[in-house]
Structure 1
Amino acid sequence: MVRVDDYLPMMFDKHPNKKEWQSMGCVQSKIPDIKGEGYHLRVKKTVAVGGSAKIMEVDPGGGKETMIVKKMVAFSKREKERILQEIDLYKKLESNKFVIDLEAHIVEDINHYLLFKRYSINFLDYLETLKTRTTVDELKHLKYFSGIVLAIEELHSFEYAHLDIKPANILKSGDEIRMIDFGSATKMPIEIKTSADHHKHKEDAEELCSIMYRAPELFNCEIGATLTTKVDAWALGVCLYEFMFLENPFNKIYEQGGSIALATQSPHMIKWIEERSVSQKTINLIKSILIVDPEQRPTITEIREKVENLLENWNKPENSGDVLEVSEPVVPEREITDEEFDLAMRQA
């Protein structure tokens, strides 16, 4: 499955789990011009190539800024349906100011070209630039997060889950942020009734959803379970952690070769990095989202309300009674040591 995050805006996902895309650097392109929908696009260079898409920087002419084209080829009916669904979702969300605008869809036989504005950086790379600092602008990052929540809330209103929410799928230019890559979006809910359902949807999750942001239920897809849009809520919780602590909460597990699937079953083991000086009220918000049981996990609307409440009461003291309460899981008062954390993960 192709994803916009790896090529818009010529910024590549540095995440260790994204291996399907290969950066093409500044390879000059000899690809013919792309024409249609009132555009005559001269291909400047190919910037990335994936299993079923090619990403190109194009010149629209007229002295305008360069843009990005995502080329996909519909070899099968299923691939064509996926492409058309992605385009349809962009149209449904075109009035949402936190979703990237699809400028044009150009079709040449079985070739589909999606044209987008070129942004200066994606949020993953932006967070990378902050790692030398001891603190982040917590309020600003919470406002960024609230924008992404609003984008996903509207997507959920159409009964689709994004399935691949992560910082690399958020573009940034100044204080403007945009959610991208709806190629993984899937209609919800999904009932897992048979063994065939189990295998199919487990494979789909592995294909469509990056492992570090994958909800616990997507690792199992157990027979009798129902997958809902709450899989996105989990990913948002992981993203909010990254927005504040500048790293994925499961990075250490991954780097040590541990099981991410098992780690998601124990969010109470997540380390809260003291050096980042993140407020307890924001930590409580993250904890209130990272709930293993999807039935207890908040909906996107509940998350929006939690964020709005936190923003509205931001300048009030943390002990004023306005701090968000956390019902699940119960987190030990004592901060666990690195040795205890490593031992627990090895035992898991």
Structure 2
Amino acid sequence: LNNVPVGMGQALCICSRGSITIDNKKYYFVQKLDEGGFSYVDLVEGAKDGQFYALKRILCHDRQARQEAQTEVEMHQMFNHPNILSLVAYAFSDSGGKTEAWLLLPFVRKGTLWSVLEKLRDKGSSMPENQILKIFRGICSGLKTIHDKGYAHRDLKPTNVLLDEEDRPVLMDLGSMNRARIEVRGSREAMTVQDWAAQRCTISYRAPELFNVESHCIIDERTDIWSLGCVLYCMMMLEGPYDLIFQKGDSVALAVQNPVTIPSTCSYSNGLQTLLSSIMVSNPQERPGVGWVLDQVQDLQSRSPNTQTNMV
């Protein structure tokens, strides 16, 4: 095992030894949960407490990647909110010139909002309106906390929302978060922001103003409001408004310039459909803030039968 090359091999080495130690506490590797471009998520069990955790390992291939991992840690530490994923512990592992960031996170058994929606779609079912409102209210609540601190999530989508057994949504993957207001001065800065968005903001949930960034403008937290609308649409229709356009290879950048069309087959209340239309506005200046959206959701909940109005 000692001959396994570091880098990706280091991760193999950890798993084959069966345990890792963070903050002097030992965790046993159980199984792989997910894999991304430069990160891996494993299910681990605390040797002392017997609790399950999600261990996110980020391979930092250069100094910038290490700084980005450090920023992700700091973003987690900034928030203490039931709708934002907390950070249990973290460590940076340096070996043979390679660095890995280890983020120990709570394990949410039910999985992502997307996995729940996929199961509904497979069954030919749909999500009841009061459940949509409950989950959406929690998402808005977490997002409002981020915006109130002067930050934006920048990659809000159903795969970045976890659901616990009580349907409480938890926002995760804070790696794309940055300051809410980005002042763009000149075409070079505009191109830098556009390139960054192309890398970090999922295309079918990306706000229109991030596809063609103007030379002199302010990008703000209302990019998240657009993504929030896409998430609401996905909960209602069981697919994102631009998923099919992207899958067909057509231009998402072009499609997002037009108002979103709600299918005539949509069986949800006029109130919910109106809320969706008011969120998904192409011009960011005309888009509402998350506080307004939250108020509308609470109003819809109070008018909706069989809806618990207690805070999520």
Relative to the length of structure 1, the TM-score reads: 0.77
2:15 to 29, 33, 53: 29
Measured in 2, the distance between the counterparts of 1:51 and 1:249 equals: 25
Whole-Å separation in 1 of the counterparts to 2:102 and 2:203: 28
Distance change >3 Å, CA 273–CA 239, structure 1 → 2 = farther
Between stretches 134-143 and 146-155, larger displacement belongs to 134-143
CA distance in 2: counterparts of 1:215 and 1:142, whole angstroms: 23
Q: 1:79 — aligned with what?
A: 65
Amino acid at match of 1:119: V
Instruction: Name which of 87, 112, 124 aligns with 2:101.
Output: 112
Q: Deviation of residue 73 (structure 1)?
A: 3.7
Which residue pairs with 1:162 in the alignment?
153
1:149 and 2:134 aligned: no
Aligned residue for 1:266, secondary structure, equals: coil
Residues 36/190 of structure 1: CA separation in 2 closer, same or farther (3 Å cut): same
Are residue 262 (structure 1) and residue 254 (structure 2) matched?
yes
Fraction of identical pairs, as percent: 26
Matched pairs, number? 286
**Structure 1, unaligned stretches of length 5 or more?**
1-27, 316-348
In the TM superposition, what is the alpha-carbon distance from 1:192 to its structure 2 partner? Answer: 1.9
Residue from 270, 278, 295 that aligns with 2:285:
295
Give the structure with the larger helix fraction.
Answer: 2
- Superposed CA RMSD in Å reads 2.1
Which secondary structure does the structure 2 equivalent of 1:29 belong to?
helix
Aligned partner of residue 112 in structure 1, secondary structure: strand
Q: Which one is further off, 165-174 or 246-255?
A: 246-255
Q: How does 1:90-105 map to 2 (within 5 A)?
A: 90-94=76-80, 96-105=81-90
The DSSP-based 3-state class of the residue aligned with 2:239 is: coil
Question: Equivalents in 2 of 1:56, 1:102: separation in Å?
Answer: 15
The CA distance in 1 between the partners of 2:264 and 2:158, in whole Å, is 19
What is the alpha-carbon distance in structure 2 between the residues aligned to residue 134 and residue 309 of structure 1?
Answer: 26
Unaligned runs of 5+ in 2: 1-13, 306-312
Q: Which residue of 1 aligns with 2:231?
A: 239
* Mapped pair 1:138 → 2:129: yes
Once residues 54 and 174 of structure 2 are traced to their aligned partners in structure 1, the CA distance between those partners, rounded to angstroms, is 16
Structure 2 residue corresponding to 1:178, chosen from 152, 164, 170: 170
C-alpha distance in 1, partners of 2:212/2:27?
A: 45
Moved more, 32-41 or 144-153: 32-41
> Shift in Å at residue 265 of structure 1?
0.7
Matched residue SS, 1:34: strand
Answer yes or no: is the 8 Å Cα contact 2:208–2:282 preserved in 1. yes
